[in-house]
Amino acid sequence: MARPFPAIYILATSMSLVLSAGAGCREESPRPRVHVAASVAALVEAGLGDRVDVSAASSFAIVRQVIAGMPADVVVLADPTAMDQLVARTDIDVSRRRTLGWNRLVVVVPVSKASSFDGTLDSTAGRIGIGDPDATPLGRYSRQSFERTERWSALRDRLVMGGDARAVVSLAERGEVDFAVVYRSDAIANPLVEIVESIDPSTHDAILCEVAIVGRHPDSMAVHDAIGTDVDWTAAGFLDGDPSP
């Protein structure tokens, strides 16, 4: 058997190099940490990507993690009930809560199947991509709408669930589902899916996208003010004005 020394020596040297490189990075002042709902990640990234650290997840996951102590300076959430949960915490200081825009739900089909499609979600067999109602605002709104129109139990067996809004769109993009219920903003600019149906906004809670400061980074205020003004959200499919139908 070969002597183990050289391998261990090389390993130790390389590890210490990696660690010291990591320590070197830490000397820079950290950038503001912005946690955003998956549905608006691309927009925030486009506007502020070079100034902040953006991480995307479902709004419910963000709230759970912030409550659990994840460092965060600014959050952008796609569900006011999620923001309410943060506000209700006495140990988290939520300030400057502001609405960025509102969204609607649409039904999309993969673009490859769009030409052959006629009929509706209910009349056509096939799998339906939807946000997980327990884990994503998208799913919560979708389920609400299906329940209020009394279709939930009929459609339930056809559902394939995604863990955030982005994941649901990609189910449709890849053709793994025949339909998907997604945000209008996610569908509008996406060349791989086609909108075939709009969902009546009176069948679910208003889909408000909100931003708020939750951390103490000195740039938090500037970042908060820039979100929603640096990039044209209406061009990206978000709606202005009063969401009540």
Partner 1 sequence: MTLTDPAVWSAVEISLRVAFVAVIAMLGPGVLTAWWLARTRSRWSAVVDAVVNLPLVLPPVVVGYLLLRALGRRGWLGGLLHDQLGIDLAFTWWAAAIASAVMGFPLLVRSTRLAIELVERDLERAASGLGAGRCRTFLKVTLPLALPGVFAGVVLAFARSLGEFGATILVAGNQPGSTRTLALSIWTETQSQKGEDRLLTLVLVSIAISVAAMVVAEWLSRRLERRLGRRR
Residue numbers at the binding site for partner 1 (CB under 8 A) = 58, 60-61, 63-64, 81-82, 85, 127, 132, 134-135, 140, 159-163, 174-176
The DSSP H or E segment spanning 210 is strand 207-213
Pick the closer one to partner 1 by CB: 48 or 164. 164
How many Cβ atoms sit within 10 Å of the Cβ of residue 214?
Answer: 24
State the minimum distance, in angstroms, from the CB of residue 108 to partner 1: 16
* Distance (Å, whole) CA 130 – CA 138: 8
CB closer to partner 1, 134 vs 240: 134
Shortest distance, CB of residue 78 to partner 1, whole angstroms? 12
CB of 104 to partner 1, least distance (A): 21
| Residue nearer to partner 1 on the CB measure, 147 or 176 | 176
Least separation in angstroms between CB 232 and partner 1:
31
**Closer residue to partner 1 in complex, CB, 140/217:** 140
For residue 142, what is the DSSP state?
H
CB 134, min distance to partner 1, A: 4
State in angstroms the smallest separation of the CB of 156 from partner 1: 8
For the beta carbon of residue 222, count every other beta carbon within 10 angstroms: 14
C-beta closer to partner 1: residue 165 or 226: 165
DSSP state of 203: G
Q: Which is nearer to partner 1, 176 or 230 (CB)?
A: 176
